[in-house]
Amino acid sequence: MRVLVTYGSKRGGTAGLAEMLGEALAAQGLQVDVRPAAETKGVEGYDAVIVGGALYLERWHRDARRFIKRNAEALQSLPVWLFSSGPLDDSAAQHELPPIAQVERLMNWIGARGHKTFGGRLLPDAKGFIASKMARDHSGDWRDPRLIRAWAAEIGEALRAGAAPWEARPRAEEQPPETPIV
């Protein structure tokens, strides 16, 4: 089974999560490609897709949103999971964090199977006005490889249990979300 893990990442933390996720899925015998969402044009040839995006000021990374918009029709017929990266503390390791409203609307639109929020990463020398100010008090790495491997195991199990062709989860929205996703 061939799986695409694609992501939108500004500072590399979400890219690192995508790589860890890809490695964990490959360890289960799946063929995995990990690619930036901005450089991934389609989903042809994939049996499942995982899309990740960094969270910035309650918005999911633009490249992840645009990837879903470009590929919505194809994604609606595949098993899809979404993940977010962002909390700069251990809250994601302490309890399940729901997707932000924007991500939930995207999930409903494409019929995604699930979502996971992982802790983020912010380097002490982060560049940019907001990031550098945040880094003063919140720099660190809260990505938890144990949680990433556990979620990958859940996805692998779901894929092995699924019948082909995949029956898409009922979507709550047949049209794109009212709120702009780009």
CA distance 71 to 69: 6
CB atoms within 10 A of CB 179: 9
DSSP designation for 39: G
Number of domains in the chain: 1
Task: Look at residue 180 and tell me if it is in a domain.
Answer: no
For residue 99, give the nearest of 77, 123, 87, 83 by alpha carbon.
83
Task: Look at residue 60 and tell me if it is in a domain.
Answer: yes
Range of the domain at 73: 2-161
Q: Which CATH number do you get for residue 126?
A: 3.40.50.360
Task: Look at residue 27 and tell me if it is in a domain.
Answer: yes
CA distance 38 to 6: 9
Task: Look at residue 115 and tell me if it is in a domain.
Answer: yes
Please check whether residue 5 is in contact with residue 46, taking contact to mean a CB–CB distance below 8 angstroms.
no
Task: Look at residue 88 and tell me if it is in a domain.
Answer: yes
Question: What pLDDT, on the 0 to 100 scale, is given for residue 86?
Answer: 79
User: What pTM, to 2 d.p., does this model score?
Assistant: 0.82
Amino acid at 65: R
pLDDT digits (tens, 9 = 90+) for 63-121: 999 999 999 999 999 999 999 997 655 766 788 889 989 999 999 999 999 999 997 65
